Every structure is written in structure tokens, then in C-alpha cells.
Chain A
Amino acid sequence: MSKTSTNIMIVGVGGQGTLLASRILGNAVILAGHDVKVSEVHGMSQRGGSVVTYVKYGEAVHSPIIDKGEADIILAFERLEAYRALPWLKKGGKIIVNDQKINPMPVITGAMEYPEGIIEKLSEKADVTALDALSLAEKAGSIKAVNVVLIGVMAKNTDIEHDKWIETVKSTVPPKFLDINIKAFELGYNYNP
């Protein structure tokens, strides 16, 4: 299997803004001169279900999807989704997880329990950065900017330069929310666990 690409998986719950996050990431890697493929899921799964986006970049990218055991980074917008995505993480890979809990329907109906201690369990197997991205987004001016906070944290873990990220945020988000999003990106980028 060709190992030329960097593989990033963005996971979350439909409606959390994962699509915008993948757009910023995709545009940033183009600006940095890479080939890239971004694979999204639209339609029914967006209605509060698990959503997965694959972003792969490098010299030449063929498959738009990431296989199990092949993600360099998993960027998770929610705890349980990070846990679910674990099999896709490369051995020794990194998980960045927003420490938010959103109950799925089987938990709401009482058919199953939301697993306890997910962050601790993940930390035994992977390099985990867990953060309260909602609070940082609130600090930036809107809890809706949580996706950009998380992109900021992830950006720090790539070899793409800071100014390229800023340029991308500027060109991707609506001008009306630019200030909030720049603040959100910086709060994420400068986040120290």
C-alpha cells in the first residue's frame, strides 16, 4: 500500500460543523502545495448520526477513503465518536478530541450505556489531546466556532505553516464571522494541554 499520504479523519455528530472543518483543512493543504482528497458523507447520516470525513494529502492521493489502522490523526468533535473511530487510527497515531458528550439514541432510550472513562481508555492506546473546545469557542465569541478551535489544535500537529492556515480560514469562512473564527483558530493553535 502506498504510504505517501498524510491521513486525517474528522469524526463527529451530524450538525456539529465537521464539513466546514474539512473544507478549511482541504484548502490549507492545497495552499501548502499538496495533492488532496476529501471524502464527506451527506444526506441521511447528517441527521444527528455519526459523521465521518476523510482528508488525505501528499504527493499523489488515489483513494479518498482511509482504511482501518491508517489514520495519522483523528480529530473528534465528540468523545464517543473518538472511541468509535479508534480502529482507524494508525499504531502510535494521534487523537484530538473535544471532551463533549452527546448521547446517541440507544443511550437515550436506555438500551445501552454511554461508556465511562473514554479519554482514559483512549490514552492507554494512543497519543490523546482532550480539550473543552466548546469553552474555547465561547471565549472566541460563539460556540459555533468549535470546529475552527479544533482545526487550530490539529494545525499545530501538521507541517503546514501558521500563516497558510490563517490565509485559509480567511478565504473559507463567511466574512461576517471572520474575527470570531480567527480568534477561535488561535485559541486552538495555542492550546497547551
Chain B
Amino acid sequence: MKKLLLGNAAVAQGAYEAGVHFVSSYPGTPSTEITECMAAYPANEVYVEWAPNEKVAAEAVVGAAIAGGRAMSCCKHVGLNVMADPIFTDSYIGVNGGAVFCVADDPGMHSSQNEQDSRHYARAAKMPMLEPSDSAECKEYTKLAFDLSEQFDTPVFIRLSTRVSHSQSLVEIGQRKNRDVKPYEKNIKKNVMMPANAIARHVVVEQRTDELKKYSETTALNTVENNGSKIGVITAGISYQYAKEALGGNVNYLKLGMVYPLPEKLLKDFAASCDEVYVIEELDPFIEDICRSLGIDVKGKECFTMLGEYTPSMIASAVLGKAPAEFDKPDEIVPARPPVLCPGCPHRGTFFVLKKLGLTVSGDIGCYTLGAVAPLASVDTTICMGASISAAHGMAKVRGREFNNKLVSVIGDSTFMHSGITALSDIVYNKGCNTIIILDNSITGMTGHQDNPTTGKTIRGEATKQVDLIKLCEALGVEHIAVADPFDVKNFEKVVKEEVARDDVSVIIAQRPCALLKTVKYTGHCEINTEKCRKCKLCMKLGCPAISVDGEGTVRIDKTQCNGCGLCVSVCPFGAIEKQD
């Protein structure tokens, strides 16, 4: 039976069919649905969890594999940075049950803070990496990755990109092959990575890479399609699909399903069979550089950009000199529609106050990064998960007390659990005086509502123990902890003023659930009473997508956008906004 599946869902199906026992991940677009889909399979067949961060997830997977289970962790490209520590050493340890690490890159940065190319990790960690180009391959490659992992005693990477993860195509659904967890045997030389043992394991790793190179020469993952052309194209992943559409039968293809290690002889032979060879790969010249190091004359980044996503027409133009299709354009500049905080978003109240107080805001990764967008434009910095707290620590130490008294960190509940805790302990330990606002919206929001250690529910929706943020902060040594509702704007402002002025570290827990949660039931909508409205436009400073001003300066609320959250009602100084049922 064939089904239309997202690439991510197909990876999950592949892992399921391969008999995976254990899956642990932290959500991250564009990888999140893999783990969500895993949780749809029966609990007695697959154990699935959200871990507090990628490092924890990867370590759990390493342990599960050492213990004899087939295990997988999935993350986005920047999540792999967090995972890197255990993975580099797991490469030395190898596996018992198969271990697969699935990483989804985001060329074009649809939902990311950078555009890194994760293929470099395969080379750096000396681990094989497979790269599917559509959903059917997602499933097949994932299954194969578990076999390769056990065959070569190595963890294996699957690399996806947004257009593979989030495209649906047809997949043949198969049966799960149930497997017993393999026996566990204590093996200090293999599993305890201290210098003497690691020195010996490094030898094994290099031998393994040689073996994998031999495998790459003959595996069906790497295929040549000879169309009798003088032009050759070496490509992988989504770029293969773009090239295929753009160039059809006009070129010969070497499609690489295994992007590390590369088949040196196959590359050389393929290049020798053509007069002209292009390497087509999004982001960095990874395959290109290896080709050049082998002395193969290829065309790559001199024809194709390192920025963003490719398109078939870009490839047709570069390789065949073909003009792109003609098209019409709008007669004027079309206003952009950047993402915004949703109507009813609890973060809107927080950023309204922070902006009003003119504070420097050290930001973090989540929906609340959108607090940097006009008119709120409140956030000063966004770096990576957890950096709101640690970066503010650095700022405060170099700029001193006066600066610190106008400085706050904002971090979501899930991001705080991910990597905010250690940063907060740094501030407490090193006598910092920062104020940290934990935006507790009761869920991991941006990636589409995943549970985390503060929500009291597992990935399968079962009730579980819940981390108490207040007790946690107390245990870290924070002596001033306030809980405030960001929609009670007056009180929230008062609390923020008090805490930033304090010459000691303090935490404000801004508590109000995400407006998109099913349990949150705002009703009705708000309306402007035009008789009372003095057109001061203070409500416009909320940046609510439902409120706008027409040509005459009259403020209006769009009923189809408003969810009746009432934040604007509490902000209006003239009582001119009224809640309607």
C-alpha cells in the first residue's frame, strides 16, 4: 500500500519497520514531526520521549544502543551542535544495537537562526551519513541506516533538509520487523572512553572509515544514470530532484545517497566519462571540495550560490544556459508579511512592558524571538538556546551595574529547561545581579506544542511528574522569585521595575498559557468604542494583528483575527476598547 507521507513521517515509518526500540529527541523545525510520528506507534513496540535537550537525547540513544536496543534521535541542524559532544565519542564506541542520528538542515532559514551545513559533522565525527531525496528514500535509507550501524559498528547520520522533511510524496508502507534487544556484555575497552581505550578505538575508527569507503563504491545508495551525455552532474538529496526536473535526460547523473564517506573511484570514473562535471549541492561545497581534493575537475560554487535554497530554473540556467519561464510582476511593492506573535499571545504583554520601560532585552529561541519585530521591537539579541541568560551575564559583567539595572533576559519554559538552568547557576555562582524572565506559556510553542518537563505530560499525553520552576530556581540559589501574569500589565510593569532595580539575581516567571492551547478558551472579540477613542494609538504599540488604523486615523479591530484575549482592553487608558461576547 502506498501512502502520501511527509519526509519526516517516512523516516519514522522506516525506523518503525526497522524495529527501533528507543527514540529520544528535542523538537526543532524542520525535524519535529519525526519524533511526533514515532509516538503514534504502539507504546509496547517503541519507547518514545521528548528529552529536555538534544545532548541528553543523544546520550540516552548512545546508552540504549550500548544496551542492545535499536535507537534514534532526531534534531534540527543547530540541535546537532548541542548533540555534538556525545556523538563524537560515540563514533569511537560504536554500537551494540543500531544507533541513528537524524539531522534536518534548513537551507533558506525558513525557521532557523543560521544556515549551517551539517554534512561537515559526518566528516568531523567520522560517521557515515545518508541523504535521502524524497519520502520513499527517507523510509528506505532509515531502515538501511540501522543495518549499516550494526554491520559497521558505528552510529549513522541521516541528513534531511526542509524540502525533504516537509514535502509529502508516495511511500510504500511495509511491516515492522520486531527484534529482540541484543544481549548486553560489559566491555570496558570499547565502552569506557578514557585515553588508553580511546587511543585503541581511534585506530578502529580509521579502519572503519576505510571499510565504509569500500562499501560506498558498490552500494546501491550511490547510482549512476547514464543518458549518453557529455555533461555529468554529481548531486545528492533535494538537489538531485531539482537537477532531475531541470535537466531531465540532457545530462548523466551520479546520485549520492551516501554523502560521507564518498566513493572516490566511482567519482573519478564518473568524471572521466564526461567532458564537463557539475557538483550541485545546496549550502557548502562539501562534495565539491572532496572531488577537488581527489584531483577531479568540477564546476561548483562558481556556478551556484552558497546561500539559501536552489530551484530547478537556477540549475537549468547554470548548466544548460536555459532562460527561466516568463512571468508577470505586481505593479508595486507588495508589503511583506513577516510572522508575528499570535492574537492572544501571552508574550505580547511582556514585550509591551519591556519596550515601555526601555530595557535592554537579551533574547532566546522560541516564538518570543518575534518580540524583535516592530512595533514591539523589544529584543536586543538572539543567539542560541539558553544564551539569553549567559549572554546577559557577559553584558552585565563588562558594562556594570547601571547597565545591568536596565537589562533583562527572556527565555521560554522549554528553552529554560533545555539550557537555561546551567546559565542561571553561572550568574548565581559568580555574583551576578541579573533579572531573568521565564516566559512560562505551559508548552513548547514555536515547534507546534510539544510537552516538556514543566508541562506534566509525556509525549504520549500521559500524566507525569512536573518540574516546579520556582523550586528549581530556589535550589539554584535565586532568592528573589516573582510570579506575574503578563496580561495584568500594571502589576507586571511594577514587578519588572522592582526586580531589575534589585542588586541581586532575580527571576520573574511570566505565567500565562499559549493562546493556541486547546485548554485556553478566549471567547468573543474586542471592539473600539469610537466615541471614547481619542486616537492615542497606544493599543497599536501592542503589535496585535487584529488592530489597525484606517486612512482617517480611526482604530479598528478585525473580528476575524481577534480572539477576545482582552489585553488591549487593559492597555487602553480611556476605556475605549470593549469586550463583546
For residues 1 through 22 of chain A, which have their beta carbon under 8 Å from a beta carbon of chain B?
Answer: 1-2, 13-15
Interface of B is mostly: loop
- B29 touching A36, Cβ below 8 Å: no
A112 and B335: CB pair below 8 A? yes
Contact B338 A104 (CB under 8 A): yes
Given A47-B370, A104-B337, A110-B549, A42 and B328 touching (CB < 8 A)?
A: no
**Residue in chain B with minimal CB distance to A70:** B325
Q: Which residues of A contact B167 (CB under 8 A)?
A: 37-40, 64
Of A86-94, A149-157, A158-166, A177-185, the stretch lying at the interface with chain B is A86-94
* Contact string against B for A residues 97-130, beta-carbon threshold 8 Å, 1 for contact and 0 otherwise: 0001011111111111111000001000110000
Which residues of A are found within 8 Å of B324, using beta-carbon distances? 67-69
Is B327 in contact with A108, judged by CB distance below 8 angstroms?
Answer: no
Partner of A48, one of B248, B339, B540, B560: B339
B309 to chain A, nearest CB (A): 8
The yes or no answer to A188 lying at the interface (CB within 8 A) is: no
Nearest-Cβ distance from residue B245 to partner chain A, whole angstroms: 4
B168 / chain A contacts, CB cutoff of 8 Å:
26, 36-40
Q: Is the CB of B163 within 8 A of A47?
A: no
Q: A81 — nearest CB in chain B belongs to which residue? A: B337
Residues of A within 8 A of B191 (CB): none
Q: Which residue of B29, B166, B341, B374 contacts A39 across the interface (Cβ within 8 Å)?
A: B166
Which chain B residues (530-548) contact chain A, with CB distance < 8 Å? 540, 543, 545, 547-548
- Whether A105 contacts B367 by the Cβ 8 Å rule is no
Decide if A83 touches B334 in the complex (CB within 8 Å). yes
Contact residues of B between 318 and 372, Cβ < 8 Å to A = 322, 324-342, 367, 369-370
- Residue A131 at the B interface, CB < 8 A? no
How far is it, in angstroms, between the C-alpha of A26 and the C-alpha of B167 when the chains are bound? 11
CA distance A186 to B377 in the complex (A): 45
Asked whether A65 lies within 8 Å of B163 as measured between CB atoms, the reply is yes
Q: Which of B163, B325, B331 has the most CB of A within 10 A?
A: B325
> In the docked arrangement, what's the CA distance between A49 and B30, Å?
17
B170 to A108, Cβ gap below 8 A? no
Number of interface residues of A (CB under 8 A): 63
Q: State whether the Cβ of B281 lies closer than 8 Å to any Cβ in chain A.
A: no
Contact A62–B241 (Cβ < 8 Å):
yes
In the complex, B273 has a CB within 8 A of chain A: no
Inter-subunit contact B341/A47 (CB<8 Å): yes
Chain B residue with minimal CB distance to A78?
B337
Q: Is residue B111 contacting chain A, with contact meaning CB distance below 8 A? A: yes
Asked if B246 is an interface residue, CB under 8 A from chain A, the answer is: yes
Bound state CA distance, A24 and B244, in angstroms?
A: 27
CA distance A10 to B6 in the complex (A): 17
CA distance A2 to B548 in the complex (A): 45
Q: Which residues of A contact B327 (CB under 8 A)?
A: 68-69, 86-91
Residues A43 and B545 in contact in the complex (CB < 8 Å), given A48-B339, A49-B339, A69-B324:
no
In the complex, the chain A residue whose C-beta lies closest to that of B537 is A110
Taking a contact as CB atoms under 8 Å apart, the answer to whether A64 and B169 are in contact is yes
Give Cα A104–Cα B333 distance, bound, in whole angstroms.
13
> Considering the chains assembled together, what is the distance between the CA atoms of A89 and B327 in angstroms?
7
Query: Is A142's CB within 8 Å of the partner chain B?
Result: no
Chain B residues with Cβ below 8 Å from A104 are 335-338
A30–B545 Cα gap in the complex (Å)?
37
Is B421's beta carbon under 8 Å from chain A?
no
B338 touches A49 (CB 8 A): yes
The residue of chain A having its C-beta at the shortest distance from the C-beta of B333 within the complex is A112
Q: Any chain B CB within 8 A of the CB of A41? A: yes
Q: Does A143 contact B (CB under 8 A)?
A: yes
Q: Does B85 sit within 8 A of A, measured CB to CB?
A: no
A residues 38-61 touching B (CB-CB < 8 Å):
38-50, 61
Contact (A49, B331) CB under 8 Å given A90-B325, A103-B545, A107-B548: no
Question: Across the interface, do B337 and A50 meet the contact criterion of CB distance under 8 Å?
Answer: yes
Q: Do the beta carbons of B342 and A87 come within 8 Å of each other?
A: no
| Across-interface contacts of B33 in A (CB, < 8 A) | 42
Q: A1-B248, A1-B312 are in contact. List 16 more A-B contacts (CB 8 A).
A: A26-B4, A38-B4, A42-B166, A43-B447, A43-B448, A63-B241, A64-B167, A67-B324, A68-B325, A80-B335, A86-B330, A87-B327, A103-B558, A104-B335, A108-B543, A126-B328
Question: 8 shortest A-B CB distances, which residue pairs?
Answer: A43-B111, A69-B325, A43-B29, A49-B339, A69-B327, A104-B337, A64-B167, A62-B245
Show the binding face of A for B, using Cβ within 8 Å. 1-2, 13-15, 26-27, 30, 35-50, 61-65, 67-70, 80-81, 83-84, 86-91, 100, 102-115, 121, 125-126, 134, 143
